[in-house]
Amino acid sequence: MTPLLLAALSLGQPDAAFARGVQTQDDAKAARPHFIEAAKGYDAEWQAGNRSPALATNRSRAHALAGDLPGAILAARDGLRETPTDVELTRQLEALRDAVPYPANTRPARASGLHTRVSGWDLFAVAAVGLLLALVGLVRRFTTRDGWAIPVAAAGVLVLLLAGAAGWQVYRDQAAEPPVLVLVRPTTLRRGNGDTYPLRLESELPRGAEVSVRLRRGGWVQVELPDGEIGWLPEANTRAE
User: Quick one: average pLDDT of 114-123?
Assistant: 73
Give Cβ neighbours of residue 190 (< 8 Å, ≥ 6 apart). Answer: 197, 198, 199, 200, 231, 232, 233
User: Quick one: average pLDDT of 157-182?
Assistant: 82
Alpha-carbon distance of 116 to 85, in angstroms, equals 5
pLDDT for 237 beyond 60: yes
Q: What is the DSSP letter of 202?
A: S
Give the CATH architecture of domain 3-98. Alpha Horseshoe (1.25)
Segment 40-90, tens digit of pLDDT: 999 999 999 999 999 999 999 999 999 999 999 999 999 999 998 898 999
pLDDT for 10 beyond 50: no
The class of domain 180-240 in CATH terms is mainly beta
For the chain, give every domain's residue range. 3-98, 115-176, 180-240
pLDDT for 130 beyond 80: yes
Q: Mean pLDDT score of the chain, rounded to an integer?
A: 88
**pLDDT for the residue numbered 46:** 96
pTM above the 0.85 mark?
A: no
**pLDDT for the residue numbered 9:** 40
User: Quick one: average pLDDT of 98-117?
Assistant: 82
Classify residue 220 as left (phi > 0), alpha (psi -120 to 50) or beta: beta
Alpha-carbon distance of 155 to 158, in angstroms, equals 5
